[in-house]
Amino acid sequence: MNYTDGQLEQKSLKLRRSVVKWIKHAGAGHTGGSLSCIDILNVLYNRILNVSPENFTSPDRDRYVQSKGHAVEALFVVLADAGFFDESDLETLCCYQSHYVGHPTRKVNGVEQNTGGLGHGLPICVGTALAGKMDAKDYRVYTLLGDGELAEGSNWEAAMSAAHYKLDNLTAVIDCNTLQIAGRTADVMNSEPLVEKWEAFGWAVRRIDGHDIAALTEALRDPLEAGKPSMVIADTVKGRGVSFMEDVGKWHHGVPNDEEFAKAMEGFDMQLAAKEGALS
Amino acid sequence: MYSPEASALAEEIGLKKGKANLEVFAATVEALASSDPQVVAVVSDSRGSGKLGPFGAAYPKQLVEVGIAEQNLVGVAAGLASAGKKVFAVSPSCFLTARSLEQIKNDVAYSDNPVTLVGISSGVSYGALGTTHHSLHDFAALRAINNLHVVCPADNYEAEQAVRAAAVLEKPVFLRFGKAALYSLGSEAEQAFEFGKARLLRYGDDLAFIATGETVAHALLAAEKLKREQGLEARVISLHSLKPFDVDAVLAAARECGAVVTVEEHMVNGGLGEACAAAILEAGVGDCLFHRVGIPDEYTVTGSQADIFRHYGISMEGLFSTAGQMLERV
């Protein structure tokens, strides 16, 4: 289906509402980081990636590997929305013997790799992108990292190799919400200046508003530059869409109480009503 | 590697000196690549130490260099494998199985990407280079990871068979190779190689040496010396697969011999010996004498691989003595 930007913005609101709903239901989850990356995943799965439940086993499909695996709730609601499984399956999220674990696992239809340890997605994607080049395949490979995750050294090993092999079929996105468990990324272990760092590592870099559907589409659709891997630094707000969670570190893996949950749902209803009004 | 007496005995019983398993690995991968363009070797500045120079020259597009970056080595290997490549990730075992352990667990084993991890110059192959370059933990670390074969070939035959079997298994495998030239330990026709199936090299029922990798030849020579000097019939088993594990062969040895000596180029914690001990205890073979030979819980003495082996009793003479002392206790 071809969505307008407005329709995708509306979908993002619904997906965010689902994230909070399922985390509340499970009593566990990474709320803030799931809410910050929803627009990125929404654009990837609904506009960019050549991947669907029908072609998921095809060797020619595009690949998405979520390196920041802790934002699994965002991935699960986006995959359910894309038809990989029924969203009601998430009633078992984090339950005894459920496939829906607190980090991505291939037991869930649509998940490419088991992730959760940080600094793993980019190296794997370098390998898959390299295989695509070796076999002259057209598929593209995407991964999503957190800005706090960049302290893992394996990312920089992979960064060097992606540029060395000129992997312009690889796009990495940083969900740059500036917060990690212990506080501001800038205070815990400053990863800036990101643009200069990635350019110095040989990547084509673009920094955008990570909640701007049009800007995400533009940045993710094609390689930013032939012969170089693409890095999209997406400036985002942790907890986006829930007023009292936005840019507040404690919601990294916070679960709303009943009162907070009701307030969050009310907020989504109001935002959705406003969006529907604007679209009609 | 062998004392003059051991070398003479080896010659007398017809053991032929072959190549290093590392060289057999490289030649076998090259042979596989010649007929299959999907075969890929990934190296971390390790093409020389992995003897893969000729492979790289013959099939440059099938050799992926990642530089000195072992975490990336394993992650890239997993990504290549997920896209259909038959991947051998090659690096010294000391780095591959320690620095990259999380990648082995998550990206290869847990994600079920069929990478063959090749730990080269394993154990104390690097001898006097010291502890940073020894891998005496790799059996223990990798045995505790689900969905990973752990295999340590004892001679050139086992090495080639293991490489070929790993290439078609489509599951994660760890192969552990040393760099010393090895004796060929048995005729190739006598037993088909199979992961999880121990190789019986010598039958006996007075005691059993259950050994793995480069220690097996020493056990075989010790068995011959025990026969000649004490009239004892020692069974010798090459237990090349730590996982999957041939419980039946171990229990048969324990029950029929009543005395088991395990031998490994690994710390005695968490390796072959403990795997055998657990199997024997769980089966209730309580009256079996049992002794582990390996590296004790210490950083090794300085010296060559041969020096270190001799120091810790991983030699014909050492194993002869261990077996003799064990049986005197009966």
Nearest to B274 by CA among B143, B174, B150, B178: B143
* Ordered per-residue pLDDT tens for chain B, 330 residues: 899 999 999 999 999 999 999 999 999 999 999 999 999 999 999 988 889 999 999 999 999 999 999 999 999 999 999 999 999 999 999 999 999 999 999 999 999 999 999 999 999 999 999 999 999 999 999 999 999 999 999 999 999 999 999 999 999 999 999 999 999 998 656 678 999 999 999 999 999 999 999 999 999 999 999 999 999 999 999 999 999 999 999 999 999 999 999 999 999 999 999 999 999 999 999 899 999 999 999 999 999 999 999 999 999 999 999 999 999 855
* Residues forming a β-bridge with B263: B211, B293
The mean pLDDT value for A270-278 works out to: 95
Nearest residue in chain A measured CA to CA from B109: A114
Kindly report the nearest CA distance between residue A132 and chain B, in angstroms.
Answer: 8
Give the domains, in start order, of chain A with CATH numbers: 5-239+258-279 (3.40.50.970)
* DSSP β-ladder status, B207-211 and B181-184: unpaired
Q: What local confidence, expressed as pLDDT, does residue B286 receive?
A: 82
CA angle A127, B22, B110 (to 5 degrees): 40
Burial of B192 (0-12, 13-18, 19+ CB in 10 A): exposed
A73 — pLDDT class (breaks 50, 70, 90): very high
Give the domains, in start order, of chain B with CATH numbers: 4-16+192-328 (3.40.50.920), 17-184 (3.40.50.970)
Q: What local confidence, expressed as pLDDT, does residue A276 receive?
A: 92
Q: What local confidence, expressed as pLDDT, does residue A280 receive?
A: 85
Q: Which chain B residues are within 8 Å of A159, Cβ to Cβ?
A: none
In Å, how far from its chain's centre is CA B194? 14
Report the run of H or E that residue B276 belongs to, with start and end: helix B272-282
Q: Which residues contact A136 (CB under 8 A, 6 or more apart)?
A: none
Nearest to B120 by CA among B65, B47, B56: B47
Q: What local confidence, expressed as pLDDT, does residue B243 receive?
A: 98
B45–A contact, CB cutoff 8 A: no
Helix (H, G, I), strand (E, B), or coil: what is residue A220? helix
Size of interface A-B (CB pairs under 8 A): 95
Burial track B287-325 (b if 16+ CB lie within 10 A, e otherwise): ebbbbbbbbeeeebeeeebbbbbbebbbbbbbbbebbbe
What gap in Å lies between CA B239 and CA B158, rounded to an integer? 11
Q: What local confidence, expressed as pLDDT, does residue B189 receive?
A: 61
Q: What local confidence, expressed as pLDDT, does residue A7 receive?
A: 97
Helix (H, G, I), strand (E, B), or coil: what is residue A272? helix
A120–B contact, CB cutoff 8 A: yes
Burial of A87 (0-12, 13-18, 19+ CB in 10 A): middle
Q: Which chain B residues are within 8 Å of A160, Cβ to Cβ?
A: 67, 69
Q: What local confidence, expressed as pLDDT, does residue B330 receive?
A: 52
Q: Which chain A residues are within 8 Å of B40, Cβ to Cβ?
A: 134
DSSP B174: E
pLDDT tens per residue, range A233-266 = 999 999 999 999 999 999 998 899 999 999 999 9
**CB-based contact A119 B82, cutoff 8 Å:** no
pLDDT tens per residue, range A109-132 = 999 999 999 999 999 999 999 999
What gap in Å lies between CA A262 and CA B241, rounded to an integer? 57
- DSSP notation for A192-207: --HHHHHHHTT-EEEE
Q: What is the pTM of this model?
A: 0.96
Which tokens belong to B114?
């069929």
Kindly report the nearest CA distance between residue B66 and chain A, in angstroms.
Answer: 6
What gap in Å lies between CA A228 and CA B289, rounded to an integer? 63
- Phi first, then psi, for residue A63 (nearest 5°) are -115, 140
Question: Among the residues of chain A, which ranges form H helices?
Answer: 5-26, 31-43, 72-81, 121-134, 153-164, 185-189, 194-200, 213-221, 258-279
Nearest to A34 by CA among A107, A90, A83, A99: A90
B254–A contact, CB cutoff 8 A: no
- DSSP notation for A150-219: GGSHHHHHHHHHHHHTT-TTEEEEEEE-SEETTEEHHHHH----HHHHHHHTT-EEEEEETT-HHHHHHH
The mean pLDDT value for A206-223 works out to: 98
Count other Cβ atoms within 10 Å, centred on residue B134.
Answer: 27
The mean pLDDT value for A92-101 works out to: 95
Angle of helix A153-164 relative to helix A121-134, nearest 10 degrees, comes to 20
The mean pLDDT value for A18-40 works out to: 97
B interface test, pick of A154, A156, A160, A201 with most B CB neighbours within 10 Å: A154
